[in-house]
Amino acid sequence: MPTYSATGLSGPVLTATVSVRPLVLNAPQRAEDLHVRVTAPTTGTGLPVVLFAHGFGSDLDGYAPLVDHWASGGFVVVQATHLDSRRLGLPADDPRRPRMWRYRVQDMRRVLDGLTTLEAAVPGLSGRMDRSRVVAAGHSFGGQTAGILVGLRVTDPQTGAAEDLSDARVMAGIQLATAGRGGDELTPFAHDNLPWLREQDFSRITAPGLVVAGDEDDLPLSTRGPAWTTDPYTLSRGDKSLLTVRGGEHFLGGISGYRAAETTDENPDRVALVQQVTLAYLRHVTGVDHTDWNNARTVLTGSHPLGHLESK
């Protein structure tokens, strides 16, 4: 039986979860072992997988409001600590810094390669994970990482090439409050300090996807204002949906942690909205159930106080 909340959205009955960390995967190409966290429901079989990429500076312990909700809704969620994490503290002159965006993609591929090992390392999970149903998700910098896995082309600032780094094992993507196209829309700060944002081509993304954007997410990276973060929806092709969070700033009410100090728009209802819509989408796109997604598309029309959901 579905459950309902103050958002007016339905959702599945949530179950208990288990979380194990750190699990360590050898990753010689990055000169640091890859530390991974796996969070999974304690019951159920044929569980789809979510690869989650954190925002700049975070780590495998971040984003618990989303990770816990997705896992309790029937998904195995895998998080890695990327090289840009404050936890690793790379020096400013570390030669890996200019290629952090690529190392992130390699990290996600390493996780995909190691899913059997990770599954076996979590008590009670063995034989319950469906590795044929994988969705990549990410917030901010992590949204670019997830996008690349489903076809986003990023022009390498060192080589000038825009390679296809997508992975056929990923069936869909969720991009939360992530960067739009580059070019002359970047601020001087972004152009000089985040060169991997200079040229992004969303037109190559044809896999299904959900984009989540706050209508007050006025990042100091673009001259276009909050509309910039909707580019992954408007400039991509195929089956796409956009959730616009009303009053939402970069952390969408507080998705990066239960007590995240960086949240400037703290609002439990916004977090609940993002939790429920993303879980409904995950269940829909992996074929688990379409009821909650169809309900969200009906409820979040017109003047709903929390957000608006559209599709193309």
Predicted confidence at residue 131, as pLDDT, reads 96
Predicted confidence at residue 302, as pLDDT, reads 83
What CA–CA distance (Å, rounded) separates 210 from 224? 21
DSSP state of 222: B
For residue range 227-271, list pLDDT tens digits in order. Answer: 999 999 999 998 999 999 999 999 999 999 998 778 889 999 999
DSSP state of 33: P
pLDDT band at residue 5 under the 50/70/90 scheme: low
Q: Hey, what are 205's tokens? A: 């993304």
Q: What is the mean pLDDT of residues 28-56?
A: 97
For residue range 122-142, list pLDDT tens digits in order. Answer: 999 999 999 999 999 999 999
The radius of gyration of the chain from alpha carbons, rounded to an integer in Å, stands at 18
Contact 152/204 with Cβ under 8 angstroms?
yes
Query: pTM, whole model, 2 decimals?
Result: 0.96
Contact 100/84 with Cβ under 8 angstroms?
yes
For residue range 194-208, list pLDDT tens digits in order. Answer: 999 999 999 999 999
Place of tokens 């070019």: 183
Phi/psi at 242 (5° precision) = -130, 120
Q: Which amino acid is at 82?
A: H
Phi/psi at 22 (5° precision) = -85, 135
Q: How many CB atoms lie within 10 A of CB 302?
A: 6
Quick one: which H or E segment has residue 291?
helix 291-299
Report domain extents, the chain.
Answer: 3-311
* DSSP character string of 127-140: T-EEEEEEEEEEET
Q: What is the mean pLDDT of residues 64-86?
A: 98
What CA–CA distance (Å, rounded) separates 71 from 2? 16
| pLDDT beyond 60 at 1 | no
Q: What is the mean pLDDT of residues 82-93?
A: 96
- Prior bond of 65 cis (ω within 30°): no
What CA–CA distance (Å, rounded) separates 294 from 280? 9
Domain 3-311 CATH (choose: 1.10.3720.10, 2.10.109.10, 3.40.50.1820, 3.40.50.920): 3.40.50.1820
Place of tokens 């992996």: 286
